[in-house]
């Protein structure tokens, strides 16, 4: 904090004069130097659609901070667009940026001794990366995202990025014409913002609200609404209240807050990537979240929302229905939310959600009439995933909840895609993609291209996909990721052969390679995991990264 109650760390004392001379070089006035210095971490760039409006959000935050008596100072954070990185080498560089963002934000905040922080992220990895940094730096901090994209419209139906990816499979298999395909290309993503379904970015921005680190609407107010600008000003003012009350991230992100996040995760049907990011954020807070806890919470938490890709509702619909707080209020009717904990509003969860009613029971099901009595995410275990794997159960059609089929095995995403588009995957198959985990990829690529191609070609009700990589929040179907241990770490997924029968049983939480124990033991004795030639950051990352079951944190 500052050296006195009203000024920033550098405002007094002869020993701080050299620093003040550098602030003079920046054009700071004495009045600005006497106020708390608030770092605004901006992920604005011109390559990510979810970030192209963040300059406007940052300007509004600056105004809010200044109105409330602080001195706003902006510094940058990087961000990758997973959609643009998808399906090529670039996706290896997506997950790895989470830790780069956390590290660089920590470095900037600590080096310049900010009195408080406002984080302005939006897309998949910079939300959890900044939350990790907030825990490390632990000065009063608030989040305000860039907001979600509006849904597109094709032939009168709402669409999103997942619609576009699935259109590739539909076009390749001759189910739609070139004109229809181009219409999707031109209309699927109509505005700036994080892609319009309950994908990873929107999942994490909603869960930021639940954790208590973002104001109401942080996850759901569309990017193009002026309400988002007002929210940013309010966040700038709110961080000054947090500063005056000395409420810090570790006061807010408690174990109870993470249990709330897991419960709402299950109710919303969030991206399976939340099972990587929540444990990693909790780790920075000194809290352990494992996959078993996720199943315990899922068992008692109903799934209330089917947003794209699980259904035909979008973030704008959730916002109009009452947003995240309305979902929390529904869950609170069954005492599934911890309401006595403090948040970035300076109030408790109970105070925040009071009066936040469900305005559309078609979008947010009443807790008494859920889509299912169990949550949207399931963790499976078995001989093929001894340490667990993850599936978005709410996006799996009923006939694929239990499935047995022959394995078609691929050692990279590209080979699997060639087989799918080449018509080599048929009804009943279980596609296995390995050496795509945190170490083996490295970087744990998302498999949106293969899952979308399977859906677009009309195989979504007949084919399962299993990988030690991960899936975009836009993936749907029997898509089972995060298989641990991964192939590169000596996992049994590395010894699966074409034709081996595999059973997926989501209601029983199991994933089984139907090969007798003696044969598995024989194969494992001969198994030598493949090694890739690596250089640069990926080489370092592969040596340091932990299992996906532990959140793929760096050790």
Which residues are known catalytic residues?
472
| Contact of 98 with 122, CB cutoff 8 Å | no
| Contact of 503 with 403, CB cutoff 8 Å | yes
Residues ≥6 apart with Cβ < 8 Å to 530: 411, 435, 440, 487, 488
Collapse the DSSP code of 303 into the 3-class scheme (helix H, G, I; strand E, B; otherwise coil) and give the result: strand
| Contact of 167 with 175, CB cutoff 8 Å | no
| Contact of 315 with 148, CB cutoff 8 Å | yes
Q: Calculate ∠ Cα 239-281-140, nearest 5°.
A: 15
The first and second tokens of residue 335, run together, are: 């005492």
CA distance 507 to 488: 29
CA distance 412 to 488: 12
Reported as half-sphere exposure (CB side, CA atoms, 13 A), residue 87 has a value of 12
488 secondary structure, DSSP code: G
| Contact of 309 with 476, CB cutoff 8 Å | yes
CA distance 504 to 393: 12
Query: In degrees to the nearest 10, what's the CA dihedral of 145, 149, 203, 373?
Result: 140
Residues ≥6 apart with Cβ < 8 Å to 67: 233, 236, 237
Distances (CA, A) of 89 to 193, 272, 479: 24, 22, 21
The first and second tokens of residue 295, run together, are: 């199943």
CA distance 39 to 374: 41
CA distance 312 to 160: 10
Cross-strand partners of 389: 380
The first and second tokens of residue 439, run together, are: 């170490």
From first CA to last CA, the distance across the chain in angstroms is 29
Secondary structure element (H or E) that encloses residue 234, with its range: helix 226-245
Q: 75 φ, ψ to 5°?
A: -140, 160
């Amino acid at each position: 904090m500052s050296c006195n109650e009203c000024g920033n760390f550098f405002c007094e004392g002869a020993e701080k004069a050299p620093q003040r001379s550098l602030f003079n070089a920046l054009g700071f006035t004495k009045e600005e130097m006497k106020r708390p210095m608030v770092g605004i971490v901006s992920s604005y760039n011109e390559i990510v659609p979810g970030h192209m409006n963040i300059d406007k959000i940052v300007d509004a935050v600056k105004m809010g901070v200044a109105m409330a008596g602080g001195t706003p100072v902006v510094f940058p954070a990087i961000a990758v667009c997973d959609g643009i990185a998808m399906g090529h080498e670039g996706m290896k560089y997506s997950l790895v940026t989470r830790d780069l963002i956390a590290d660089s934000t920590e470095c900037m905040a600590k080096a310049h001794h900010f009195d408080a922080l406002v984080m302005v992220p939006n897309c998949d990895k910079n939300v959890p990366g900044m939350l990790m940094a907030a825990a490390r730096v632990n000065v009063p901090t608030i989040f305000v995202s860039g907001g979600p994209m509006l849904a597109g419209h094709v032939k009168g139906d709402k669409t999103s990025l997942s619609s576009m990816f699935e259109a590739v499979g539909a076009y390749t298999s001759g189910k739609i014409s070139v004109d229809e395909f181009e219409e999707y290309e031109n209309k699927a993503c109509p505005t700036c913002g994080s892609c319009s379904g309950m994908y990873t970015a929107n999942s994490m921005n909603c869960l930021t609200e639940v954790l208590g680190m973002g104001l109401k609407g942080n996850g759901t107010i569309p990017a193009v609404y002026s309400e988002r600008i007002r929210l940013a000003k309010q966040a700038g003012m709110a961080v000054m209240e947090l500063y005056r009350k000395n409420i810090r991230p570790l006061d807010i992100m408690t174990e109870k807050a993470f249990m709330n996040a897991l419960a709402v995760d299950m109710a919303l049907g969030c991206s399976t990537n939340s099972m990587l990011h929540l444990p990693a954020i909790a780790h920075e807070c000194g809290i352990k979240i494992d996959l078993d806890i996720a199943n315990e919470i899922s068992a008692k938490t109903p799934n209330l929302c089917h947003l794209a890709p699980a259904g035909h509702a979008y973030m704008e619909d959730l916002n109009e229905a009452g947003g995240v707080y309305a979902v929390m209020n529904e869950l609170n009717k069954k005492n599934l939310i911890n309401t006595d904990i403090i948040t970035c509003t300076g109030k408790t969860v109970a105070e925040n959600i009071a009066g936040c009613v469900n305005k559309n029971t078609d979008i947010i099901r009443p807790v008494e009439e859920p889509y299912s009595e169990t949550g949207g995410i399931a963790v499976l275990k078995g001989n093929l995933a001894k340490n667990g794997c993850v599936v978005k159960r709410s996006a799996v059609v009923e006939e694929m909840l239990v499935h047995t089929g022959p394995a078609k095995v691929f050692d990279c995403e590209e080979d699997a895609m060639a087989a799918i588009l080449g018509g080599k995957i048929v009804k009943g198959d279980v596609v296995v993609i390995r050496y795509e985990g945190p170490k083996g990829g490295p970087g744990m690529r998302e498999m949106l291209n293969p899952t979308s191609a399977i859906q677009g070609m009309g195989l979504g009700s007949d084919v399962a996909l299993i990988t030690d990589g991960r899936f975009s929040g836009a993936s749907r179907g029997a898509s089972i990721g995060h298989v641990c241990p991964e192939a590169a770490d000596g996992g049994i997924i590395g010894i699966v052969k074409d034709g081996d029968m595999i059973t997926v049983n989501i209601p029983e939480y199991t994933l089984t390679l139907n090969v007798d124990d003696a044969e598995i033991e024989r194969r494992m004795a001969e198994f030598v995991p493949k090694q890739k030639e690596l250089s640069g950051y990926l080489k370092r990352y592969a040596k340091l990264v932990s299992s996906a079951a532990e959140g793929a944190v760096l050790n």
